[in-house]
Amino acid sequence: MLKGKKILIGITGSIAAYKIPLLVRLFVREGAEVQVVMTENARDFVTPLTLSTISKRPVFTFPFNEVDGTWNSHVDMGNWADLMIIAPASAATLSKMASGMADNLLVTTYLSAKCPVFFAPAMDLDMYKHPTTAANVQKLVSFGHQLIEPQVGELASGLCGAGRMEEPENILDAVTKYFNKKQHLSGKNILITAGPTYEYIDPVRFIGNFSSGQMGYALAIEAAERGAKVTLVSGPVNLTISHPNIRLINVVSASEMYDAALAAFAESQITIMAAAVADFTPEKKSDHKIKKEHALKSIILVPTKDILAAAGKLKQADQILVGFALETDQEIENARKKLQNKNLDLIVLNSLNNPGAGFGVNTNKISILDKSGNQNDYPLKPKTEVASDILDRISELIK
């Protein structure tokens, strides 16, 4: 399955490094070429000799060859690889990757890599749960890197929890799947809306909502990884995104989102509206900060334009339009109504009644409804995987 693929494996100092010779063996057996780069600490857990024997290539740790002083070029390795995978990824290396701290060959190679990057964290459960590690993981995901989630189980410390590196067979599986689906959206333009909108009351106050933008950003990354050219129209969020296939347009209000999204709509074969757009906006926006002594007793609200409904009216036969519905009551019935009224091909329903789904969490539990009356229910998953499910479902419509 991986014949001719060039895989760069970065090994860091974690006990799970002992599993990497098996991972290298699996890649080689599938026909891949494997180049190993390992940190000095990783050499305490697994020997370079084992890895170079299995990969049939020299293994590098230092920028210069220890014997003859020649350069082990991180730039050449970064250019060579079709995919880089950091496994196990220790907390220290995650932090260096997130901050660009290029103090070893592995991190300089990572910074030079032009290919997709996968990372498989492995550490003790409290280290993995720590907010600093969580923030680093989140940042790396926002760069478009693929997180291979650690598994829950017994750890080397004797404690039990999330932190065990995913098994080599499953890492191989994730990489194989990636190459299989990789380019199937190439040549397609995809428009995605994400995040909340803020409706100004005055220059310092607004009406907003709790949308974090994570779902829309995960969709943008997944679509870009599958080869699509993505236009991401985003309301104000605390997320960063950088991918050669993604054009980010930042907006603030529902009316700005309307203009930006509709400008890109005609050229988009697939449109997914994941934004939580305000349904109402203040009738008047004060140009000056409203002072206490002129206190507003009420704010008159007027409806915003429904972007999804407007796109539904313009939709041509060769365009696919997908909306989201966040419901608390009569979920399926309400979602079906939206599907029909807004002329959608699919609607993704997430219910606020499901713990772990909806705003501000990095998991979601969805159902996808189509216009023929079919309904697919999915289990609670990280939003990155939910994005993959949604794009798989959309891909079935293209076929």
349 binds ligand CTP (CB under 6 A): no
Answer for which of 254, 339, 346, 387 binds ligand CTP (CB under 6 A) is 254
Give the separation between CA 106 and CA 69, rounded to whole angstroms.
Answer: 18
Query: Which residues on neighbouring strands pair with residue 368, listed in sequence order?
Result: 348, 376
325 binds ligand CTP (CB under 6 A): yes
Q: Number of H helices and number of E strands within the chain? A: 13, 21
Nearest-approach distance from CB 356 to ligand CTP, in angstroms: 19
Nearest-approach distance from CB 300 to ligand CTP, in angstroms: 18
Tell me how many residues contact ligand CTP (CB under 6 A). Answer: 15
Q: Radius of gyration over alpha carbons of the chain, in Å? A: 24
Nearest-approach distance from CB 268 to ligand CTP, in angstroms: 14
321 binds ligand CTP (CB under 6 A): no
275 binds ligand CTP (CB under 6 A): yes
Helix axes 168-181, 20-29, angle to 10 degrees: 40
Give the binding range for ligand CTP (CB under 6 A) out of 14-22, 83-91, 227-235, 317-325. Answer: 317-325
368 binds ligand CTP (CB under 6 A): no
Cβ-based nearer residue to ligand CTP, 95 or 255:
255
277 binds ligand CTP (CB under 6 A): yes
Contact letters (x/-) for ligand CTP, 285-314, by CB under 6 A?
-------------------x-xxx------
CA distances from 85 to 2, 7, 81, 192, 222 (A): 14, 7, 10, 28, 17
Give the binding range for ligand CTP (CB under 6 A) out of 125-133, 177-185, 270-278, 284-292. Answer: 270-278
Nearest-approach distance from CB 128 to ligand CTP, in angstroms: 33
Nearest-approach distance from CB 305 to ligand CTP, in angstroms: 6
Contact letters (x/-) for ligand CTP, 87-116, by CB under 6 A?
------------------------------
Tell me the catalytic residues.
209
Residue 351 tokens read as: 């219910």
390 binds ligand CTP (CB under 6 A): no
Q: Which of 101, 146, 106, 155 is nearest to 128 (CA)?
A: 155
**Vertex 95, ends 215 and 128: CA angle to 5°?**
70
Q: Which of 269, 245, 231 is nearest to 395 (CA)?
A: 269
Give the separation between CA 96 and CA 89, rounded to whole angstroms.
Answer: 11
Contact letters (x/-) for ligand CTP, 175-204, by CB under 6 A?
------------------x-----------
Answer for which of 245, 323, 331, 346 binds ligand CTP (CB under 6 A) is 323
Tell me the one-letter amino acid at 122: A
Give the binding range for ligand CTP (CB under 6 A) out of 78-86, 137-145, 159-167, 319-327. Answer: 319-327
Terminal-residue alpha carbon distance, the chain: 23
Cβ-based nearer residue to ligand CTP, 164 or 336:
336
Nearest-approach distance from CB 155 to ligand CTP, in angstroms: 41
Contacts 24+ apart (CB under 8 A), 210-213: 210/276, 210/359, 210/360, 211/235, 211/237, 211/275, 211/276, 211/359, 211/360, 212/237, 212/238, 212/239, 212/359, 212/360, 213/237, 213/238, 213/239
Nearest-approach distance from CB 275 to ligand CTP, in angstroms: 4
Find out whether 150 and 163 touch, Cβ atoms under 8 Å. Answer: yes
273 binds ligand CTP (CB under 6 A): yes
Residue 40 tokens read as: 């000095």
Q: Which positions from 135 through 164 interact with ligand CTP, judged by CB under 6 A?
A: none
Cβ-based nearer residue to ligand CTP, 89 or 277:
277
Burial class of residue 268 in the structure, from the number of CB atoms within 10 Å of its CB (0-12 exposed, 13-18 middle, 19+ buried): buried
Chain residues binding ligand CTP by CB under 6 A are 193, 254, 273, 275, 277, 279, 304, 306-308, 323-326, 338
